[in-house]
Amino acid sequence: MNLNIETTEHENYYEIKVGGELDVYTAPELQEVLQPIRQKGTHDIHVNLENVSYMDSTGLGLFVGTLKSLNEHDKSLYVLGVSDRIERLFDITGLKELMHVNKGTEVN
């Protein structure tokens, strides 16, 4: 399964739209996109998961690493457009308390 990734740079944040299944096989594709952005540390990151049908713990780990890197630069990670199933993963792991997770696709 391939992962569809679209990246748009805005003034203060990068918007990354992801589609498909985010798992151990496809997470490296998203990692390649996130790594240089988070290392620069100049923008917040908004990841839109509206079109992600499945995500496993590898995806969660990717977001944890991104969050840690962004925190070092006083930047934020927003995970948007999550389904009920994906939101539950963030709830169960306690990650919803550490990062901005929203069912909607806009930052509140």
Mean pLDDT by 10-residue block, N- to C-terminus, for the chain (108 residues)? 92 97 96 95 96 95 96 96 95 93 89
Taking CA atoms, 96 is separated from 29, 72, 73, in Å, by 23, 19, 20
Rounded to two decimals, the pTM is 0.94
Looking at the 3D structure of the chain, how many domains does it have? Answer: 1
CATH number, domain at 50? Answer: 3.30.750.24
Cβ count near 30 (within 10 Å): 22
| Under 8 Å between Cβ of 67 and 77 | yes
Q: Residue 11 in 3-state DSSP?
A: coil
The runs of H, that is alpha helices, within 4-74 are 27-40, 57-72
In a domain, residue 107? The reply is no
23's tokens: 């798992």
In a domain, residue 87? The reply is yes
15: containing domain: 4-102
pLDDT confidence of residue 2 = 82
Residue position matching structure tokens 């006083």: 74
pLDDT confidence of residue 20 = 97
